[in-house]
Chains A and B, each alone.
Chain A
């Protein structure tokens, strides 16, 4: 089955700096890579996703890059704000088969004001 690794497990940045979270996956068939943000005590919420036919996607301060050859993808948050503090999960999925998502181990991001 799919195995997703995520680094770092914790990340602290100063407000205004950038944050980068990296993930690798094992199943080359995976073709969908969502990122979820989970604030304390709340449910995970999708913040951005990318499909395997795209190398990069950006949405305001958030961007995701995908390297299919190396089987890794990254989340980039620029101009971080205190409200960005949360746990971020990457996931890898195989669409149109079972559509299951396999999640990484999570990154606890703290943005220091």
Chain B
């Protein structure tokens, strides 16, 4: 149980275009999802907290107009990188929390490798 998927697993886009990444909880309802950015051999940097039915909460230094987050249902959150630039190239990974089980564990998706050319 507690499986989180991400789509796509990798994407290459041209500078100036937008890219949407989906994060789905497959076998549980996730009232809260989190989006992280991971640079090579570095840590998971929390970008934002996505709450179902409400606006996302962004961490300091993360541009909310550039990284649009939508959490329209209890099983789906999307991250859209708008007007992508090469410096946005990174590994984006989401996690979801199953609030019903009484645990606080975050279950991670497999990540999405974004390359902006």
- Residues of A in contact with B (beta carbons under 8 Å apart): 1, 6, 32, 34, 36, 42-46, 49, 89, 93, 95, 98-106, 108
For the A-B complex with A43-B93, A49-B104, A89-B43 known, give 16 more contacts whose Cβ atoms are closer than 8 Å: A6-B43, A42-B110, A43-B4, A43-B108, A43-B110, A43-B111, A44-B93, A45-B108, A98-B57, A99-B97, A101-B34, A103-B43, A103-B45, A103-B46, A105-B42, A106-B42
Minimum C-beta distance from A59 to chain B (A): 14
How far is B106's CA from A72's CA once the two chains are assembled, in angstroms? 21
Residues of B within 8 A of A98 (CB): 49, 57
Q: Is B11 an interface residue (CB 8 A)?
A: no
User: Which residue of A42, A93, A103 contacts B104 across the interface (Cβ within 8 Å)?
Assistant: A93
- Residues of B in contact with A (beta carbons under 8 Å apart): 4, 32, 34, 36, 41-46, 49, 57, 59-60, 93, 97, 104-106, 108-111
Majority secondary structure, B binding face: strand
Q: List 26 A-B residue pairs with CB atoms under 8 Å apart, sorted by A's residue number.
A: A6-B43, A34-B104, A43-B93, A43-B108, A43-B110, A43-B111, A44-B44, A45-B108, A46-B106, A49-B104, A89-B44, A93-B104, A95-B104, A99-B49, A99-B97, A100-B34, A100-B46, A100-B49, A101-B34, A101-B106, A103-B43, A103-B45, A106-B41, A106-B42, A106-B43, A108-B41
> In the bound complex, do residue A34 and residue B108 qualify as a contact, i.e. CB atoms below 8 Å apart?
no
Residues of B within 8 A of A95 (CB): 104
Majority secondary structure, A binding face: strand
